[in-house]
Amino acid sequence: MSDYDVIVIGAGATGENVADRAVQGGLRAVIVEAELVGGECSYWACMPSKALLRSTRAIRAAQAVDGARQAVTGEVDVAAALRRRDRITHDWSDESQVDWLRGAGIDLVRGHATLTGARRVRVTRADGTAADLEARRAVVVATGSAALLPDIPGLAGIRPWTSRDATSAHAAPTSLAILGGGVVAAEMATAYAGFGTTVTMIVRSRLLGTMEPFAADLVTEALSDGGVDIRTGVEVVRAERVEGQDAVLHLSDGSRIAAAEVLVATGRTPRTGDLGVDAVGLTPGEWLDVDDTMLVRGTDWLYAVGDVNGRALLTHQGKYQARAAGDVIAARAAGQDVKDRPWGAHVATADHAAVPQVTFTDPEIASVGLTARAAERAGLRVRVLDYDLAAVAGASVHADEYRGQARAVVDEDRRVLVGATFAGPDVAELLHAATVAVVGEVPLHRLWHAVPAYPTLSEVWLRWLEGAGRATA
């Protein structure tokens, strides 16, 4: 049996980060990975999906500026866009990621990991042989999540795409039906419609329903203008496919949709089903409940970071959690009380009310913190500041006929920003300033002294402050 201070199960971005922080803290760490080092984000999620979106968005950005649009004489080259995606994913080779692990002083064991007891992990290799590992300090689960396949009669039999299939496809299908109305569904509808695919979305309630309604409305309108058929208020009740023909989806309103491919984007499920968590008193298939140090509740040695804990299913939040967990494990190994660290690096509190997210549709949606509705539900006395981004001087420079909207959500009792949402072309780069303001709880009267450069889209901050009233302190 090999022993380490820390065993990390899963070599995605979160697993890599927690192992790296533990090693930097003086501990010996090993990562166990059954697939590719680099994980979901590098090969099947963030990176390939944004690569698929970028080519079409670049063309549309040029077409929005007079003088540039005249130079755009063709449509997106789908084959070239897919080749670019392949370069970004390194053709699904993890050689460079393995080199990084080696350079960081992190050991790698390939195979499927299962917990066999407290601090013990068995790794079953591809050839069927097994190795047993034991952790002196901690085991960290960083196995992520998988696409959730709803229990719809016939759905499994039509061999639907999951997000992995959509981001790794080697050709654009002639037609695509998408089940779901969340971020993955909206982004893949944007990408494939841009490739010329006939796209139909089946949305049970509202597209991007957890976001500010104005942002969801802008994306809905843009998708519809781009030829996407959005069916809301309906769901699939049965699916079938005759070999060699399109899949047929029967909807709850009695209509039918035929498509060459069907993408299921209805949610995620934690990868804990075959992890052996029952050996340590946990339930397979459930999210791992953690505290703010990422310690699984009821244990003193098991940690869970990233999607698998269900807190915030975003790569950057997983990496944030991983840095916290790695520091915590190293601090506890050194006998330190993490509560004594006033600078708070050992707790992942931002997961609760300060999560930033960009939805890379066209237009983009960038948001952080609470929506107006969520803030009201939390019992805050809320003031909403809305501003038309097209009225900012920087918008007219950025693009002809710019369309966008921005909303700030203010806690009136504390006079601080608790949420912000931007919707429009290239608003992603506005987000971090809002994240700093929310996390730092910067009073509005101090934000008056953070002067936005002219002429940029960031001038919306000045307009928000004018809407909030004069500086009083």
Within-domain flag for 164 = yes
Tell me which residue range forms the domain holding 449.
363-468
Task: Kindly report the CATH number assigned to the domain that includes residue 316.
Answer: 3.50.50.60
Are residues 446 and 422 both part of a single domain? yes
- pLDDT, residue 166, reads 98
- pLDDT, residue 403, reads 96
Neighbouring C-alpha atoms within 13 Å toward the C-beta of 185 = 28
Within-domain flag for 70 = no
User: Strand pairing partners for 366?
Assistant: 358, 422
Within-domain flag for 47 = no
Are residues 131 and 245 both part of a single domain? no
| End residue of a domain, out of 296, 329, 350 | 350
Are residues 282 and 253 both part of a single domain? no
Within-domain flag for 460 = yes
* pLDDT of 72 over the 90 cut: yes
Task: Kindly report the CATH number assigned to the domain that includes residue 431.
Answer: 3.30.390.30
Backbone phi and psi for residue 181, each to the nearest 5 degrees, phi listed first: -135, 20
DSSP state of 304: E
Cα 61 → chain centroid = 24
Within-domain flag for 399 = yes
- pLDDT, residue 425, reads 96
* pLDDT of 345 over the 90 cut: no
Q: Which amino acid is at 341?
A: R
Within-domain flag for 221 = yes
Q: Count of domains in the chain?
A: 3
Are residues 126 and 138 both part of a single domain? yes
C-alpha separations of 200 from 97, 258, 312, 392, 429 in Å:
37, 9, 28, 35, 30
Average pLDDT estimate for 263-284? 97
Average pLDDT estimate for 374-381? 96
Locate 106 and state its tokens. 């992190």
Are residues 254 and 174 both part of a single domain? yes
**Residue 209: which region, alpha, beta or left (left: phi > 0; alpha: psi -120 to 50)?**
alpha
* pLDDT of 280 over the 80 cut: yes
Are residues 186 and 245 both part of a single domain? yes
Cβ of 292: how many Cβ atoms within 10 Å? 18
Are residues 368 and 442 both part of a single domain? yes
Locate 4 and state its tokens. 């380490």
Are residues 229 and 262 both part of a single domain? yes
- pLDDT, residue 242, reads 84
How many angstroms separate the CA atoms of 385 and 370, rounded? Answer: 13
Q: What is the H or E stretch that residue 397 is in?
A: helix 393-398
For the chain, helix, strand, coil in percent to 5 are: 35, 25, 35
User: In the chain, what is the straight-line distance between the N-terminal and C-terminal CA atoms, in Å?
Assistant: 64
* pLDDT of 340 over the 70 cut: no
* pLDDT of 343 over the 70 cut: no
The string of DSSP codes covering 370-393 is --HHHHHHTT--EEEEEEEGGGSH
Question: For 415-461, how does the pLDDT look when each residue is reduced to its tens digit (9 = 90+)?
Answer: 999 999 999 999 999 999 999 999 999 999 999 999 999 999 999 99
- pLDDT, residue 342, reads 52
Are residues 376 and 345 both part of a single domain? no
Neighbouring C-alpha atoms within 13 Å toward the C-beta of 263 = 31
Within-domain flag for 197 = yes
Q: SS3 of 343, please?
A: coil
Locate 137 and state its tokens. 């300090």
Average pLDDT estimate for 322-345? 81
Are residues 219 and 310 both part of a single domain? no
* pLDDT of 224 over the 60 cut: yes
Q: How many residues make up the chain in this entry? A: 473
Within-domain flag for 16 = yes
Q: Is the dihedral of CA 282, 288, 289, 295 positive or negative?
A: positive
Are residues 17 and 128 both part of a single domain? yes
Question: For 120-170, how does the pLDDT look when each residue is reduced to its tens digit (9 = 90+)?
Answer: 999 999 999 999 999 999 999 999 999 999 999 999 999 999 999 999 999
Are residues 415 and 307 both part of a single domain? no
pLDDT category at 338 given cuts 50, 70, 90 is confident
Backbone phi and psi for residue 240, each to the nearest 5 degrees, phi listed first: -155, 155
| End residue of a domain, out of 350, 381, 410 | 350
How many angstroms separate the CA atoms of 429 and 145, rounded? Answer: 28
- pLDDT, residue 473, reads 43
| End residue of a domain, out of 319, 350, 381 | 350
pLDDT category at 470 given cuts 50, 70, 90 is low
